[in-house]
Structure 1
Amino acid sequence: MACFYKFVNSILSNGDEAFLKEALLEVSLYSAETCEKMAKAASLRYVSDSVPGISRKKNKAGFIYYYPDGRQVLEEKVLQRINALAIPPAYHDVWICPYANGHIQATARDDRNRKQYRYHSLWQECRQQQKFYMMISFGKALTAIREHVNRELRKPATLSREQIICAIIYLLDNACLRIGNSVYARENKSYGLTTLRKKHLSIEENKAMLDFEGKSSKIWHIDLKDRKIVKILKKCEEIPGYELFKYYDENGALNVVCSQEINAYLQTLTKKPFTAKDFRTWIACRETLCRLVEICLSNEPPTPKNLKSTIKEVADLLGHTTSVCQKNYIYPGMLIWWQQGRLHSWVKRNKAKIQQLDDDSLLLYWLKKACKENEDLLLKSRKKYSSA
């Protein structure tokens, strides 16, 4: 976190402490202009691999590196930075940032031609932190998103673009499924919402079931009993073609929905840059917090074993390994609060309030508290890192 405190201190050095909260939120809005401003404030260069960079060439001993002007990289400090990036030997089209403070340090293509990135450690910390600040905005928007989705699903099943997109958002929110990727569906036969086939759906009376293999060979079985979504799925089954989620456009033509449409729809609806993945991040944090709070309410001690089993349960729910779930989906502050016994103390002090809240409201209530404390910590750290 030291790098992050330095980053915030650079913002505060402008003398406007009130800007901190706005800055933390703005960097999460994924605006290139804002990110460039934040990178500059943190003494990072906002870079792109479209400009010339350091390249590498294989030799008998390993790799030789060359500057854009053709000179071989011989400086020990630069070579140490490159080696620390740990770019796999099998990667190709390797681009390495010529600047040690570039926010992107390297890009390359893996053996499946997927673009991979290596970011500056400071930039990673900033983005990890802002992701969870953004969750407060997402939590506040959830009620409006759900109300809009439910209105669309209660309408007659016309399978319009908006209705199909809302059906997918409903499943993101209620079934914790991935959005789907056509490449994974084609190459791995693993599926997400936008790539589901009609063969994955079965209908029994007033119940719908989805059975399919997802990413990392996770087998999904989802039972759906809500009449609104069952009605839509029944209608989807009647449409020609093997894809499950298709819609009729204004000309009456059938179109297969894609993940980009879902993300664009969410952003238009909320005026925020939310994506389908935000639902899974929210669910992971909500389910983790609720389980940990339940343990606190039962007066069990905050043991590592309880934490480990909780993360395992949530990872299974998401179809992830525990390490991926903990690293990418669960707010680190939540785990720190548990390990330090602060969550137990907080639950004890706020027991009456907590027992009145539903699960989503509980997470939002805790996030506001945790992020406010983090802001205070960052402000206090200004003096500590001002000379760093």
Structure 2
Amino acid sequence: MKNKNKKQVKKISKFQLFIIFSVILILVFAGLIIYRLFFIKQIVFSEKTIKTLQEPPTTAVSYQNGVLIGNSQGYVALFDAEGNTKFSKKIDDKIFGLVVNPKDGSICVAGVKFHLLDRNFKELYSLGFDNFIPRDPYVAFLNNGNTKLLFQSLKDLSYLIVTVDSNGRILTKDTVPDMGQNSQISIDASGNAIFVLESGDIYLLDGSRIAAKTSITEKQTSSISNVFGYFAGGNIVVGYKTLITTDQSQNSRNINVTLPVYFYNNSLSMLTKTSFDSSINNVFVGNNRVVFSAASGFYFYDTRGNLLNSVPKVDFTPFEYLEGSQVRAYVYKNINQQGTVFYQVIVKDSSDREIGRFIKAFSIDNPVFLVSSNSQNVYIIEGVDIKLLTR
């Protein structure tokens, strides 16, 4: 017996299926386009000038969610995110560098002398020597509470590493002779130092004693300081920044198709070697990783030389990587056919999610980029103007 209540189902034709599928695709793509346009609109930063100085600063760092600067007149000043002056005082005849101790917020001011200020800008001590000036990287805050200060002689270019206690009392003085070539010194929180020469020779120093020595196998020489060496999480990273590609037939330097970088442990035993196919613009050393801003991309390594991540170059050339507790900044640089230099800043949160971007051709050759140590603020110093990136 047939069921009279059974409804007859009408089949959908292929043409109708095609129409339905096309409508769905159009709606999906339209939604993606609208979302993308809205997303881009939301993340484009603008700049806000929060302070105009009397002269360009000689040095600047992020401090207390603001910008701490030093200048050629010897002044140190702190400006908050609204441009209000929180501190300003003449400390020395000229300021070369500022280094913040992340443990207690104290500030090492490198002028003609070294000055240590507490977080309330009270001077705890100062230290200097005739015919010596502070030398970059200036200071190392040690695990035992002491501090090592780095000086360089104006007479023979030798280095002087001075250990002081929390009251500025001198504990040790160690001399590192000038070797007649470009060099770099890095001091670890343990108190050891590495002395890296442009020739590729590396010395591990325990006070004035050479604790270990090695040499990188692929050496370069140049007329400018090209070698780098840093302590990173107790280990050591050493290499050159410039990829040499000059042809041997021109009676010049040898061709290097890759740029080697070496990772060592704290006794100068090699951990690993890595290579880049382009020059390195900047090296960022964090607590547990090293980031290379190379012409071909950003490369993230742990302190033992293991590659963690990479961000390849797309349009602009990677120039600098900056990192605070809440924000990361990827700075790119590009030169168009007319010779105009553009910088692009892509800002991401601590989970590497993009929160904003900014692009500009600046009025000066070398703008300074800073990220806040305790917020998502990003600052740019363009000549005498301190600017904050805003949405």
TM-score using structure 1 length: 0.26
| Structure exhibiting the larger radius of gyration computed from Cα positions | 2
Greater share of helix:
1
- RCO higher in structure (CA 8 A, sep ≥6): 1
Greater share of strand:
2
TM-score using structure 2 length: 0.26
